[in-house]
Amino acid sequence: MDHLTWTLAPMFFASAKRTAIYIVESFIGITVAKFREAQSRKRKVNEPMAFNSSIEKVKLHFGITKLTDWNDVLPFWILDIEGVGNATLDHIRIYLALKNVTLKDDHTPEFWKEKLGSARIGNTMAENDLLVSIPFTILVDKMEQQPFGFDSIVPDTTETPADLKQRVREGDIKQSDIKFLIPKKFKALGAANGDYSVDGFEGRVHVERKSMNDAHGTILSYGDRQRRFERELENLSTIESSAVVVECSLGRLIAETPSHGKKTTGENKRIIHRRLIAWMQDYSVPWFFCDSREFAEITTFRFLKRFVRKIGEENKKSRKIESNVDFFESPELVTLEDL
């Protein structure tokens, strides 16, 4: 009997241990699930209050007293306000769009009704629509033959709203599932102004796009075509921020140089390399050689986005300086208790 007891005892304890572990794991799983559900309910309850508070903050900041006052507010000014992000901007856009009003230099109400009507508004989102809007519109030249779509660019974590970052951390979605919602508008930008700009910043930021074949033809050209492109480079050099974006690497551009006219491939390779150096020195316009069309598209977007952000930061500093000047010009506002 004793022998049987000692034989069965380890089996009994092992079984009991497995049962205990199962009970604990089940309890933890249920607890975590309930916690997440409670947090989700809490977010939903707090959302209206949080957004109303943020929108009131924006209205107070700009002195908004009537609906048409929003027409004088640029989208990136709203993002300059501390504690206000893309979610609040989206909420304002759809609110205004439903009343057929829009922010200054922003897209049409119809655009936002279509795009944001099914996209995420604040922390509320459609299951298959994970979009992060941006506060500016990209202008595409009407003559652009192969325009970028700008519809598959993924924001990084610093550009992702908190609710979406939480879903990424919890494994509900991947960062690559999230995309920028980038407004576009086709417009005649002019023969010497490149292919892309930003609405409200024409004449200040422009990008010229080149496919590999187009780059070969342009760089190896002579006569009128060469002079036209050099006039474009000269014009771009006078603009505050401009660039040429090529849809291939410099190495590939040179390696795949075609024969052209009476010149051999070897001669044309040297012409491309040296003419590029000459143009960069003579006109001081940067060239971005990207490994693919997708990389070129992202580079174009990032170039334009960074310019808008820079201008926003400069405007913010300017307004802060003006605010300080007003303060020191009004000494009657200062009391001994303030010092």
Q: Could you tell me the residue ranges of all domains in the chain?
A: 51-136+151-184, 189-331
Q: What angle do CA 241, 271, 195 make, to 5 degrees?
A: 30
Average of per-residue pLDDT values in the chain: 80
Give 332 or 137, the one with higher predicted confidence: 137
Give 55 or 102, the one with higher predicted confidence: 102
Per-residue pLDDT band for 270 (boundaries 50, 70, 90) equals very high
**Mean per-residue pLDDT for 136-159?**
93
Residue-wise pLDDT for 61-90, tens only, equals 888 878 888 888 998 888 888 878 887 888
User: How high is the pLDDT of residue 102?
Assistant: 87
Per-residue pLDDT band for 294 (boundaries 50, 70, 90) equals very high
| pTM of this structure | 0.64
User: How high is the pLDDT of residue 26?
Assistant: 57
pLDDT tops 60 at residue 34? no
User: Within 10 Å of residue 85's Cβ, how many Cβ atoms?
Assistant: 16
Q: Do 277 and 268 contact (CB within 8 A), yes or no?
A: no
How far apart are alpha carbons 125 and 121 in whole angstroms? Answer: 6
User: How high is the pLDDT of residue 307?
Assistant: 96
pLDDT tops 80 at residue 328? no
Does residue 263 sit in helix, strand or coil?
strand
User: How high is the pLDDT of residue 334?
Assistant: 36
Q: CA dihedral defined by 163, 169, 173, 179, rounded to 10 degrees?
A: 60
Residue-wise pLDDT for 177-188, tens only, equals 999 989 999 999
* CATH architecture for the domain at 189-331: 3-Layer(aba) Sandwich (3.40)
Q: Which two tokens stand for residue 112?
A: 């936002």
Q: What is the DSSP letter of 67?
A: G
Q: Do 266 and 313 contact (CB within 8 A), yes or no?
A: no
Which of these ranges, 1-5, 131-135, 153-157, 314-318, has the smallest mean pLDDT?
A: 1-5
Above pLDDT 90, what percent of the chain? 44
Are β-strands 196-198 and 138-141 bridged in parallel, bridged antiparallel, or unpaired? antiparallel
Residue-wise pLDDT for 199-248, tens only, equals 999 999 999 999 999 999 999 988 888 999 999 999 999 999 999 999 99
User: How high is the pLDDT of residue 54?
Assistant: 72
Beta bridge mates, 209: 245
User: How high is the pLDDT of residue 122?
Assistant: 42
Would you call 200 exposed, middle or buried from its count of C-beta atoms within 10 A (0-12, 13-18, 19+)? middle
Q: Which two tokens stand for residue 83?
A: 């504690």
Residue-wise pLDDT for 107-134, tens only, equals 888 887 776 655 544 444 343 358 888 8
**Mean per-residue pLDDT for 136-157?**
93
